[in-house]
């Protein structure tokens, strides 16, 4: 077996491939608040995973069609970092069933 020397930068990049971060999603939809968590490598991936993993049976008025709309909208989500706060973002969008507001918090998973 031949060993290959890599730089510190390359080591960090390899380590980052395996580090999973915990993100907490707080969604407001038609008078209800729904909270769930996703582990992911980054915020963008977490948002995509979150919308695909929603337990639609627990979200009143959403349904399968609403989730399909959300998945399509996820391609265009524009997340806004909340001013003067760390690791907290906001996004919102509308679907036929109503308006959805979401706060995302990068959560310490200790």
Using the Cα atoms of residue 30, residue 36, residue 38 and residue 42 in order, give the sign of their dihedral.
Answer: positive
| Number of helices followed by number of strands (H, E) in the chain | 3, 5
- Give CA–CA dist 84/51, Å, rounded: 27
Q: What is the pLDDT of residue 16?
A: 63
**What is the tens place of the pLDDT at every residue in 73-107?**
888 888 999 999 999 999 999 999 999 999 999 99
- pTM for the model stands at 0.81
Whether the CB-CB separation of 97 and 66 falls below 8 Å is answered with yes
The answer to whether 27 and 90 are in contact (CB under 8 A) is no
């Amino acid at each position: 077996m031949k060993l290959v020397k890599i730089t510190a930068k390359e080591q960090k990049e390899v380590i980052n491939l395996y580090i999973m971060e915990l993100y907490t999603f707080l969604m407001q939809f038609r008078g209800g608040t729904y909270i769930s968590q996703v582990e992911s490598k980054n915020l963008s991936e977490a948002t995509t995973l979150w919308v695909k993993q929603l337990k639609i049976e627990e979200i009143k008025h959403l349904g399968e069609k609403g989730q399909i709309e959300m998945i399509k909208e996820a391609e265009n989500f524009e997340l806004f970092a909340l001013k003067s706060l760390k690791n907290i973002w906001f996004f919102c969008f509308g679907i036929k069933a109503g308006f959805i507001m979401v706060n995302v918090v990068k959560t310490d998973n200790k």
